[in-house]
Structures are given as structure tokens and as C-alpha cells.
Amino acid sequence: MKNQLIATIVAGVILFVWQFISWAAVNFHKSEQMYTPNQDAVIQMLSENLEPGTYYIPQAAPGEDQMAALEKYGGKPWAVVSYHASMPTEMGMNLFRGFVVDLLAAFLLVWILMNFSNLTFKTAMLGSLAVGAIAYLTIPYMNSIWFEGNTTGYIIDLIGQWGLVGAWLGWYLTRK
């Protein structure tokens, strides 16, 4: 139990620190946070026309035929907009929640790896990368198929964070 707890805490910290580096220090995800000099005008227009929520624009109106809307809007500009009425500046709860999620993800990975009958460094590393690949393929990559986003930052995260976690767990969990 002690080994599982230590493995989980260190792996969770690795995930958390990597995510700070990835999103803030180095910002591998800058293509998802682009700047526009027109931001004030865009925000003003959005605040006058939207309630808080996430929108896929253009969209068929309620009761409108989906195929007719596709024909009507096909080939024209489109956007995915997440609009919020107020920008929070307090990050404490978000950081806490993020760390808890990282600990949970680490715990689940440790649990999976500890159920291998013959865990080796290689299987821990490949198992960790496989978990990262599953997460990447089913969320960011799948979204990029439909919403044409750039997933380069997520691929770097897959290799970086899950590789580091796999190396840690491969070393720590296989010590005799």
C-alpha cells in the first residue's frame, strides 16, 4: 500500500508539473490560445449577442432540417465559441482540482500496472504511454477531426508527461 501511495503521489506531481510547463512556461498549446488585435471588438459583439455557453456556429435552428442547414452553410466560415460573462482571475480552485485529477489519473495507472503479473520497466513505460495515447486519441485528436484543431501540444504532452510518469513508475514499481 505504501509503494502504491508513493508511486501515485510522485506520478501525480510529475503530471501536474509537466502540465504547468506545457501550458504556461513553454506553452506548447499556443495555437489554441491565439491573440487577435480585434479582441475587444469581438468580446463586445459576443457579449451583446450570446448567453454564456459553447456554440458551434453556424448551426441549424431548432426545427430546421440538418441537411438543409449543411447545404446552406457549407463552404462558408464557421466557429466554435466558448463564451463566458466574466473572466476569473483566481486560479487556486482550478489548480487544486487539476492536481486532484492528476492524482486520480496516476492512481488509476498505478493500479493497472500493479496488476501486471510480471511488471518490468519496459511494460510500465509502454503501459503509461498507452494510457496517454488512449487519452490523446479519444479526446484531443478526435476533436481535431471534427473541429480542425491543432494537436501538436497534446502529442508533446503524450510523450513528455506519460513518458516521464512511465519512467518513474517503471523504476519505482520494479525495484526489488
- What is the rounded CA–CA span in Å between residue 168 and residue 110? 11
- The sign one gets for the Cα dihedral 165, 157, 145, 105 is positive
- What is the rounded CA–CA span in Å between residue 38 and residue 49? 17
Closest CA to 174 of 112, 108, 124, 130: 124
Cell of 139: 479526446
The pLDDT > 70 percentage for the chain reads 99
Rg (CA), the chain: 21
pLDDT at residue 1 tops 90: no
Whether residue 161 contacts residue 22, with contact meaning beta carbons closer than 8 Å, is answered with yes
Mean pLDDT of the chain: 94
pLDDT at residue 176 tops 80: no
pLDDT in tens, 3-30: 999 999 999 999 999 999 999 999 999 8
- What is the rounded CA–CA span in Å between residue 166 and residue 118? 16
CA angle 111, 153, 30 (to 5 degrees): 135
- What is the rounded CA–CA span in Å between residue 40 and residue 167? 45
**Global pTM?**
0.85
